[in-house]
A and B are shown apart, each in its own frame.
Chain A
Amino acid sequence: MNTTRRTLLGASLALPAAAMLPRDAAAADSFKVGFIYVAPIGDAGWTYQHELGRKALVAALGSAVTATYVENVPEEGADAERVIRKLATDGHKLIYTTSFGFMEPTLKVAKTFPKVKFAHCTGYKRAANVSTYSARFYEGRYLTGIIAGRMTKSNVIGYVAAFPIPEVVQGINAVLLAARTVNPNVTIKVVFVSSWFDPGKERAAADTLISQGADVVMHHTDSSAVVQGAEEKGVWSFGYDSDMLRYGPKTNLTSVTMDWDNYYIDQTKEAIAGTWKSSDTWGGLKSGMVKLGPLNTAVPDSVKAEVAAAQAKIESGALLPFAGPVKDQSGAVKIAAGASLSDGDILGMNWFADGVQGKLG
């Protein structure tokens, strides 16, 4: 195979000279920013939202910035560290690593490249040149819980989830607690599919939940399979990551969407200006990092008003989604009446509220 490689190069020299002119991709003084994506960009989902953020960054800063991305980098194994390192050696000054599994690789590369700045999404380990950022997705979930509680007839909500990690558990509990404020009989059935992106499995899980009586389904995975399945079966659905109304025009009630645009623009501006400092950002509805997508016309005006009121209260801090009294599945009090969870307790959430059917771990 050594022969092969040499031959490839030899043969390539014979190509037309016009092809030999290298194209200067970036202006010389352009600030290079890198993005690592865990999945292909596609046309909806987690990675797609980060790509929208990258595009917004390019649109805002123009030729002052060159924003490279590498998509479909596996979280598992040794690949991520190599790709992050490659971006750093290639002159990227600020690197966004957009999935939890990139945490250790990001920190390792950051140690080798102390002058390069890194921002890791959804992790909890920081360093002098490593920031973290994420959003309170559960605030958006809480709003969908109100709608779900009002719209369900069977009082069963089906929830297709990827893995039992705190971020997912927060969403499930938030939906349950919100739904019960308007409909105390609601229960949630959860199916874990052990994958962030597996449309076949996600769809099969949704079908199972619907056959078990769920007339509202939602998902914490990255495809639109659940929304599409719900549209076919004629049950209500909620989208996640991106606005998914177009995948279920009749039955998709709304979506919890993420918006990283301002974070990427602000952080990159600071890095260019030299004022960037390692920080921990946890945005939410108030900062606009989490948004509720357009509402389906099927949502009654009274419910719309209810959602708008709750959103205003969450943004002002008057409503805390994880406020007591809350019991877990075993009946133990997790949040006392009058108390609310600290950020630390929310970040490590590893229990299901009473009313969630499904096992953790």
Chain B
Amino acid sequence: MRLSLEARERPARIMTWASPLLAAVGSVIGVSILFAALGRPPLTALYVLFVAPLETLDGLAELALKATPLLLCAIGIAIGCRAEVWNIGAEGQFTVGAICGGGVALALGGGGAWWLLPLMILAGIAGGMAWAGIAAFLKTRFNAHEILTTLMLTYISIQLLGYLVHGPWQDPDGHSFPQTKQFEDDALLPMLIEGTRLHVGALFALAAVPFGSILLGRTMMGFRIRTVGAAPAAARYAGFSRNGVVWFCLLLSGGMAGLAGICEVAGPDGQLTPVISPGYGFAAIIVAFLGRLNPVGILFSSALMALLYLGGEGLQVSMQLPIAVTGTVQGMLLFFLLGADVLINYRVRLRPARAVAGVARHA
């Protein structure tokens, strides 16, 4: 007898809903064993991990703040993935968006003009689009794979930012430390809730969810994206331009990552420093797949990811657990969540060894 995975004829509807529950049960058991083995009461630890961050207004605001860049980047990435356009470099587009918008803030901040913030945001979006546009050009003109080009462009963007904050944009009063001066008040995004750090950027992120859903589900462009991704031959037959879809997806996801970048520096950061993103662009790839490349799913997965960060810090602060443990807990949860999703398209069967060989031949 052997355990085998067998492809389902069509995705199981029930598993679409049951798999997160299964994953939840699995991870609670796994995490509890881990906590117990470390001599911490599992219930208290689970409470610290999942509930404590949500108990206060401040906690909720921090959750939304952390989820905002993830959500913006992930929806752009997901739309590309649906067309099999793999934008791995949201991190770079995020950085260039921050540079362009931040440059506007540094040059024009302090004048109190009403158009300053809109201009910064547009500059951020344009910067992200331009950066992703390079990859789109290389893809459509020279067939250079976007996985490589977007990733390489990320490193270039970080060097560019480093040059600016070490050089021409360095704060003259900053003791030669690599950073720009703090943005003036008129170049900072307004707060949504007084006393917290939640800024209007969160609204952009929230708006990206229906935007992405409608784009994918109800528009001709969305249909093209899905067709190019699911059935390239059919898309060609229908006369859909593959290059057009590549350009659209990369510009869109680049623009969204750029928006996330400017919101981060004009929101909680308030200045440019040598590194702006602690890996949002890369974490967003996990978030996109965790949300099954669906904008509504991504809303939840970005919130869950943000909760894992906050809860992980809680474990360190309240339970005195080292970071290796919080990393293990986060890894365990993602493993169960992504692992359980296999059950949507596959069923587990106990079969005699010979029959397994038959399945393999079949496949």
Contact residues of A with B, CB < 8 Å?
A: 1-5, 7-9, 11-13, 15, 19-23, 25, 34, 40-41, 68-72, 74-79, 81-83, 85-87, 89-90, 100-101, 104, 124, 163-166, 169, 194, 347-350, 361
Contact residues of B with A, CB < 8 Å?
A: 17, 20-21, 23-25, 27-29, 32, 36, 40-44, 46-47, 50-51, 58, 62, 65-66, 159, 162, 166-167, 175-178, 182, 197, 264, 267-271, 273-278, 280, 300-301, 303-304, 307, 309-310, 313-314, 316-320, 322-324, 337
Contact status of A69 and B316, CB under 8 A, knowing A79-B309, A348-B176? yes
Instruction: Provide the bound-state CA to CA distance between A69 and B43, in Å.
Output: 22
| A72, A164, A347, most chain B CB atoms within 10 A | A72
B182 x A4 contact (CB < 8 A): no
B interface, over-half SS: helix
A163 x B313 contact (CB < 8 A): no
Across the A-B interface, give the 5 residue pairs with the lowest CB-CB distance, nearest first: A1-B300, A78-B268, A74-B278, A76-B275, A350-B176
B40 x A163 contact (CB < 8 A): no
B175 x A12 contact (CB < 8 A): no
**A-B contact count, CB below 8 Å?**
152
CB distance from A288 to the nearest CB of B (A): 25
Return 12 A-B CB contacts under 8 Å, by A number: A4-B337, A5-B50, A11-B28, A13-B43, A19-B32, A22-B41, A76-B274, A90-B317, A90-B318, A163-B166, A165-B177, A166-B175
Residue numbers in B under 8 Å from A164 (CB-CB):
166, 178
Residue numbers in B under 8 Å from A348 (CB-CB):
175-176
Contact status of A1 and B20, CB under 8 A, knowing A9-B46, A70-B317, A101-B273? yes
For A164, give the chain B residue with the smallest CB separation.
B166
Instruction: Provide the bound-state CA to CA distance between A297 and B44, in Å.
Output: 52
A19 x B41 contact (CB < 8 A): yes
Contact of B46 among A12, A76, A101 (CB under 8 A): A12
Residue numbers in A under 8 Å from B21 (CB-CB):
3-4, 7
**New A-B pairs, 14, CB < 8 Å, besides A4-B24, A9-B47, A74-B278:** A1-B300, A1-B304, A4-B337, A5-B50, A11-B28, A19-B42, A20-B41, A40-B324, A77-B264, A77-B278, A81-B268, A89-B58, A169-B176, A194-B274
B316 x A71 contact (CB < 8 A): yes
CB distance from B275 to the nearest CB of A (A): 4
B25 x A7 contact (CB < 8 A): yes
Instruction: Provide the bound-state CA to CA distance between A104 and B41, in Å.
Output: 36
Contact of A86 among B178, B271, B278, B313 (CB under 8 A): B313
A9 x B20 contact (CB < 8 A): no
B274 x A41 contact (CB < 8 A): no
Residue numbers in A under 8 Å from B24 (CB-CB):
4-5, 7-8, 11
B197 x A81 contact (CB < 8 A): yes
B320 x A104 contact (CB < 8 A): no
Contact of B43 among A20, A25, A40, A82 (CB under 8 A): A20
A166 x B317 contact (CB < 8 A): no
A4 x B20 contact (CB < 8 A): yes
A76 x B317 contact (CB < 8 A): no
For A2, give the chain B residue with the smallest CB separation.
B300
For B301, give the chain A residue with the smallest CB separation.
A1
B274 x A15 contact (CB < 8 A): no
A78 x B301 contact (CB < 8 A): no
